[in-house]
Chains A and B, each alone.
Chain A
Amino acid sequence: MNAEQLEKTFQDKVDAEIRIEPRDWMPEAYRKTLIRQISQHAHSEIVGMLPEGNWITRAPSLRRKVALLAKVQDEAGHGLYLYSAAETLGVERETLIDEYLYGNAKYSSIFNYPTLNWADIGAIGWLVDGAAIMNQVPLCRCSYGPYARAMVRICKEESFHQRQGYEIMLTLCRGSEAQKAMAQDALNRWWWPSLMMFGPHDSDSPHSEQSMKWKIKRLSNDELRQRFVDVTVEQAHFLGIAIPDPDLRWNEERGHYDFGPINWAEFWDVVKGNGPCNRDRIRARRKAHEEGQWVRDAAMAYAEKRKARQTAAEAVASPTPVATYS
Chain B
Amino acid sequence: MNLEPSHFEYLLRLADNALILGQRQSEWCGHGPVLEQDIALTNIALDQIGQARMLLAYAGKVEGKGRTEDALAFLRDAGEFRNLLLVEQPNEDWGYTILRQFFFDAFNFFLYQELCDSADAELAVIAQKAIKEITYHLRFSSEWVIRLGDGTGLSHRKMQEAVSDLWMYTGEMFLPDAIDEWAKDAGIGPSLQAIHVQWNARVREIFKEATLELPESGWMQQGGKQGIHTEHLGYILADMQFLQRAYPGLEW
Contact = CB atoms under 8 A, between A and B. Distances in A.
Interface string A80-93: 10010000000000
Contact of A73 (B23, B29, B34, B247): B29
A178 B250 CA distance: 10
B33 interface: yes
A297 B151 contact: yes
B117 interface: no
Given A62-B73, A292-B94, A301 B250 contact: no
A194 B46 CA distance: 29
A278 interface: no
B89 to A, nearest CB: 16
Contacts of A53: 29-31
A-side interface mostly: helix
B134 interface: no
A288 B34 CA distance: 8
A93 B168 CA distance: 41
Contact of A176 (B46, B50, B243, B247): B247
Given A292-B33, A294-B158, A302 B150 contact: yes
Interface string A283-323: 01001100111111111011001000000000000000000
B242 interface: yes
Contact of B35 (A79, A168, A176): A79
Contacts of B35: 46, 76, 79-80, 83
B240 A171 contact: no
Contact of A298 (B36, B74, B155, B236): B155
| Size category, B interface | 35 or more
A211 interface: no
B209 to A, nearest CB: 11
A294 B147 CA distance: 12
Nearest to B50: A66
A65 B242 contact: no
Interface string A110-154: 000000001000000000000000000000000000000000000
Contacts of A295: 33-34, 37, 94-95, 148, 155
B165 interface: no
A199 interface: no
- Interface class of chain B by DSSP: helix
Contact of B53 (A62, A76, A302): A62
A276 interface: no
A175 B250 contact: yes
A69 B30 contact: no
Contacts of B49: 62, 65-66, 69
Contact of B250 (A76, A179, A296): A179
Contacts of A293: 33
Contacts of A79: 35
Contact of B147 (A58, A73, A168, A299): A299
Contacts of B242: 58
A61 B70 contact: yes
Interface residues on A, range: 35 or more
A67 to B, nearest CB: 10
A246 interface: no
A270 B68 CA distance: 44
Contacts of A58: 239-240, 242-243
Given A297-B155, A302-B146, A288 B252 contact: no
A179 B250 CA distance: 9
A56 B39 contact: no
B252 A60 contact: yes
Contacts of B73: 62
B147 A302 contact: yes
B93 interface: yes
B154 A298 contact: yes
Nearest to A45: B35
Given A291-B93, A299-B34, 18 more contacts: A56-B29, A60-B243, A65-B26, A73-B42, A73-B46, A76-B38, A175-B251, A284-B31, A287-B31, A288-B32, A295-B155, A296-B33, A297-B152, A298-B147, A298-B155, A302-B146, A302-B148, A305-B150
Interface of B: 19, 23, 26-27, 29-39, 42-43, 45-46, 49-50, 52-53, 56, 69-70, 73-74, 93-95, 146-148, 150-152, 154-155, 158, 236, 239-240, 242-244, 247, 250-252
11 contacts: A58-B239, A58-B243, A63-B53, A65-B49, A73-B29, A295-B148, A298-B155, A299-B34, A301-B155, A302-B147, A305-B150
